Amino acid sequence: MISPGEPMSPTGDARCFCLRSYGVRPESVIVYGQSIGTVPSVDLASRYESAAVILHSPLTSGMRVAFPDTKKTYCFDAFPNIDKISKVTSPVLVIHGTEDEVIDFSHGLALYERCQRPVEPLWVEGAGHNDVELYGQYLERLKQFVAHELVNL
């Protein structure tokens, strides 16, 4: 159900616009985010209903990317995915390259471990940050997720 109130964020505003303008049901929406795009995706999915969430090369937090030894979330960290992912009630597919040179693979694993409804992740052996989709298993996993795993929800 769409709230008649004002949206709380730009992502909420875009969501409301799309749902109202195109008559899309929330349970038909798959939220997809890649890299820094996983931040608004996790935020949106943590506050609104959706069919599923796909996180491609996600980050746990901005501070943890910049300072890998960081173990907690600071109030000034604008990208706290690690604190919001547990609020996502939709099935979550995490995809990450094991040789990611921008956002370490450990970020994807940490988010996966905190999901309420994780599905079998895709860890792409040897893939970096910008080439995951070039591996054949990427498209196959997406097809499997949408065609088979979401059908049973």
> Is 46 among the catalytic positions?
no
Residue 100 is among the residues annotated as catalytic for this protein: yes
Are 132 and 97 in contact by the 8 Å Cβ rule? The answer is yes
Q: Is 41 a catalytic residue?
A: no
Task: Please tell me which residue in 43, 77, 100, 104 is annotated as part of the active site.
Answer: 100
Catalytic residue among 35, 46, 83, 131: 35
Q: Which amino acid is at 4?
A: P
* Residue from 46, 83, 129, 131 carrying the catalytic annotation: 129
Please list, in sequence order, all residues whose beta carbon lies within 8 angstroms of the beta carbon of residue 60, skipping any fewer than 6 positions away. Answer: 81, 82, 107, 110, 111
b vs e for 125-144, b when ≥16 Cβ sit within 10 Å of the residue's Cβ? eebebeebeebeebeebbeb
Active site residues: 35, 100, 129
